Chains A and B, each alone.
Chain A
């Protein structure tokens, strides 16, 4: 169970998060949606300690992790993986070495065991044939698949996906959606997915929270969103450029 309580975060004078509270039950797939700059990535980065809140409380499995030290967060990160928006594969390593890195550092495996395990993870995302290539040699979509494989190597209980289907072709996007669903259904992995992808949102999400003006505008199921009369939510779902939605000024998240 993940819980964010009354999270505030500002960068300079701009309050990106202004009292965000939401929870994610174990095994659920929670989508966080909102316009670019709404603070979605900022919120999820709090969970793994990449960003610290100005105010509020974050708990994981009942443990308050808000004020853990950087070293203290390592235990959190062992069970809570993150797939970044821009993949963030290590350029100096081949794809298989990227996937092997956490295995080498944290699992007591022989070299061949780590190789086999990494290859299995790459097969899961249909990237085994490209295992010896380097991140610079492949496209964004393929890099994203490898980043997902790398994030899953430590068998995390929780996975944060930051826009996992952005830049993927429709088929690859469906594969990623299926993978997220399988993680939840078969391994009881809890996922937090930051996304703009309406198809993903309405096919995979168990729960959706929409961030708007630094707060949670609506927290509910996909059906709650479909049936919402809120004009901002309707504008977002219908993808209209004009409407009541105020777009945040350029900033992070």
Chain B
């Protein structure tokens, strides 16, 4: 019993240390944003890597998400002959909830994991130390560009993904429920989902911020060579997923409270 409590206590301390470390890293990143001294080339590279190389996977994820929403609701909607709600149902769930969360999770698995691996490799091969010896601050040079790029690009990717999710929903509605594209579009417009769309974009930005901080933190704190990088990537993906779901819950609660 005592041993179990000791192990549990140690684990809790470890988790609290991790949360504290991530929080401090977040504050250091915010501090490094002012005054803006980050490297334009590295920032552009981060935008390219984070955004341009991710949009295909986001489009695919979004289209599948929209299609699945319609498939899930299709049976009930057809049985109750409430086909006029298809656009609303697909739009409501995709724009505010499923779209940003799934895109965020895909983004974390692709971009966040890649970022941790890249930074972790730079740490174990002393490239980060080499930057320091060149009197270049790794926070300014490496962390800040990634932080900005992930926030901006996940915002834009969610905006883009939402459109493709609706397209996926429209195609599935047309094929499965025989609802024309124009009717589906007018249903979405009539549903007045601007609030949900904006809420999804806000979530996207917050997810981007969370993924950036978590993935950079685990990358910069790698210890133990190549196995350490593997562990860090694993931990980064898990922590990012938890962060996404926690932020989703928090924003949902706040949104519900202020509505």
Contacts and interface: CB of A to CB of B under 8 A. Distances in A.
Contacts of B126: 84, 86, 88
Contacts of A101: 134, 136
Interface of B: 39, 41, 45, 118, 121-122, 125-127, 129-137
Nearest to B131: A90
B141 to A, nearest CB: 8
A106 B135 contact: yes
A82 B127 contact: no
Given A88-B125, A92-B45, 7 more contacts: A48-B133, A49-B132, A77-B134, A89-B130, A90-B130, A92-B118, A102-B135
B129 A50 contact: yes
Nearest to B136: A105
Interface in A34-89: 48-50, 70-71, 73-75, 77-78, 81-82, 84, 86, 88-89
A169 B89 CA distance: 69
11 contacts: A49-B132, A77-B132, A77-B133, A82-B133, A86-B125, A89-B130, A90-B122, A102-B134, A105-B39, A106-B135, A150-B134
Contacts of B41: 104
A185 interface: no
Nearest to A45: B129
A102 B135 CA distance: 8
A230 to B, nearest CB: 33
A11 to B, nearest CB: 13
A155 interface: no
A113 interface: no
The 5 closest A-B pairs by CB, nearest first: A88-B130, A74-B135, A77-B135, A82-B133, A88-B126
A152 to B, nearest CB: 12
Contacts of B118: 92
A154 B133 CA distance: 11
Contacts of A84: 126, 129-130, 133
A91 interface: yes
A86 B124 CA distance: 11
A90 B136 contact: no
A43 to B, nearest CB: 15
Contacts of A82: 130, 133
B136 A88 contact: no
A226 B235 CA distance: 54
Nearest to A160: B133
Interface in A80-138: 81-82, 84, 86, 88-92, 101-102, 104-106
A105 to B, nearest CB: 6
A90 B127 contact: yes
B130 A102 contact: no
A106 B136 CA distance: 9
Contacts of B135: 74-75, 77-78, 102, 105-106
A60 to B, nearest CB: 14
B202 to A, nearest CB: 32
B137 to A, nearest CB: 8
Interface in A8-52: 48-50
B143 to A, nearest CB: 14
